Amino acid sequence: MNSTSGLPRQPRRAFLARGGAATTLLLLQPKGVFGAEANSQVALGLIGCGGRGSWIAQLFAANGGYRWVACADYFPDRVAAVGDRFQIAADRRYTGLSAYQRLLASPLDAVVIETPPYFHPIHAAAAVEAGKHVYLAKPVGVDVPGCLKIAQAGQQATAKNLVFLVDFQTRANDLYREALRRVRKGDLGPLVLGEASYPWAGGGRGLPPADPEQRLRQWYYVLPLSGDFIVEQSVHALDVATWILDAAPLRAAGVAGRKVRPQGSIMDHFAVTYWFPNDVSLAFACIQSIPEVKDEIRCRVFGAEGVIDTDYFGNVFIRGNEPFPGGNVGNLYTTGVQTNIREFHQFITTGNVANPTVAPSVRSTLTAILGREAGYRGGELSWDALLKEAKVLEPDLRGVKS
């Protein structure tokens, strides 16, 4: 990744040795014992063995630069499925709420965190504290204190020579990267306004279960665990918007409601207007569970000289005085992750700890939280007031095993 070049480099062996005991030992073996390939493998632990955790585990394994040595999940069935599939030793499979602590105390170099968003700041900060490199699913948190904890953990990671990567697929795509490079170069002229949207056929019409353990399985519908869908999902669109606009919003005004899921604990639609520095505005809308709707994660920003148009499921291009034909992003859901996995390995093995994904991911998650809070209030809220308020979302975990 070119935005991280220019950092002081360390010899790979010395760098990996800081990451964790597992690879330290491995790297000190003579090459002939394990072969060159095994010598460069990063020892990984997975926290959160659900849908995405088990899916991404396969992509890490296919990369060739990693080996799975430990896994953790609240539920034994989830841990067993991943453990069996990736031949993880029985005594390196951890369950319960404190599973992540036991995993972090065991010898490994890096962790992949695929738990519900509420737990991301807790799990990621503990991983950095334990000296592990971190690969983290979006969003970075569900509230302001959680996001600030991630910002701090990212800085601490850099100070401790650790890699911390947040897995936004758009940021890993060449078409997005090139289009953004051109925007920065000034190809759109002065930016005027933008629009972003995330209509989605999925989302379901479910309710949060009453059983405390089952709420961990159905966390999407539990507000303090997911942060509501504007944070959990729409952050993808808002991440692209804040990337293009290269700023955090100054304030937002919004509406939100439950017309599709009248009894849900999260909303089913939000419409938010954001105001950015230099009088640039962004109109944002997200809605879900609408049958047959075409899924889009769209962001368009207009400048005086042209417009950038992006869709996670479609094309990226610029029209105007300096056009960029761009193209179709293809299966970004998978290819974006494959690139992030490849770059995570590259950063670890070259000692590149600039960790450029952390600050923008904190910014975009906070932008989504600002939209959520403005929507809940049906009114206007400033960025500064949001940060000052520092509202905490706390799930009720009574009845859940430690």
Report the interface residues with ligand NAD, using CB under 6 A. 47-53, 72-75, 78, 97, 99-100, 114-117, 119, 137-138, 167, 169, 216-217, 219, 232, 333
Shortest reach from residue 57's CB to ligand NAD, in Å = 11
- Whose Cβ is closer to ligand NAD: residue 137's or residue 316's? 137
Instruction: Give the residue at shortest CB distance from ligand NAD.
Output: 50
- Whose Cβ is closer to ligand NAD: residue 278's or residue 334's? 334
Residue type, 217: R
- Whose Cβ is closer to ligand NAD: residue 126's or residue 374's? 126
The tokens of 239 are what? 């991440």
Q: Which residues pair with 111 in a beta bridge?
A: 45, 134
Shortest reach from residue 211's CB to ligand NAD, in Å = 13
Shortest reach from residue 85's CB to ligand NAD, in Å = 14
CB 66 within 8 A of CB 344: no
Q: How many CB atoms lie within 10 A of CB 297?
A: 26
- Whose Cβ is closer to ligand NAD: residue 247's or residue 397's? 397
Q: What is the spatial distance between Cα 169 and Cα 176, in angstroms, rounded to a whole number?
A: 10
- Whose Cβ is closer to ligand NAD: residue 53's or residue 121's? 53
Shortest reach from residue 318's CB to ligand NAD, in Å = 24
Shortest reach from residue 151's CB to ligand NAD, in Å = 18
- Whose Cβ is closer to ligand NAD: residue 17's or residue 165's? 165
- Whose Cβ is closer to ligand NAD: residue 115's or residue 355's? 115
Shortest reach from residue 104's CB to ligand NAD, in Å = 12
- Whose Cβ is closer to ligand NAD: residue 78's or residue 269's? 78
Q: What is the spatial distance between Cα 293 and Cα 295, in angstroms, rounded to a whole number?
A: 6
Shortest reach from residue 205's CB to ligand NAD, in Å = 18
**Which segments of 4-43 does DSSP mark as H helices, in order?**
12-19, 21-28, 31-39
Q: What is the spatial distance between Cα 234 and Cα 298, in angstroms, rounded to a whole number?
A: 10
Provide the 8-state DSSP code for 81: H
The tokens of 185 are what? 């170069």
Q: What is the spatial distance between Cα 322 and Cα 79, in angstroms, rounded to a whole number?
A: 51
- Whose Cβ is closer to ligand NAD: residue 221's or residue 274's? 221
Shortest reach from residue 113's CB to ligand NAD, in Å = 8
Three-state DSSP class for residue 335: helix
The tokens of 224 are what? 């303090």
The tokens of 283 are what? 């109109």
- Whose Cβ is closer to ligand NAD: residue 26's or residue 99's? 99
Shortest reach from residue 279's CB to ligand NAD, in Å = 32
Interior angle at CA 350, CA 349 and CA 356, nearest 5: 105
CB 341 within 8 A of CB 55: no
> What DSSP letter does each residue of 260-272 carry, written as one string?
SSTT-SS-SEEEE
Shortest reach from residue 168's CB to ligand NAD, in Å = 7
Contacts with 75 (C-beta within 8 Å, 6 or more apart), sequence order = 95, 213, 216, 217
Contacts with 239 (C-beta within 8 Å, 6 or more apart), sequence order = 138, 168, 170, 171, 360, 361, 364
The tokens of 120 are what? 């991301």
CB 8 within 8 A of CB 19: no
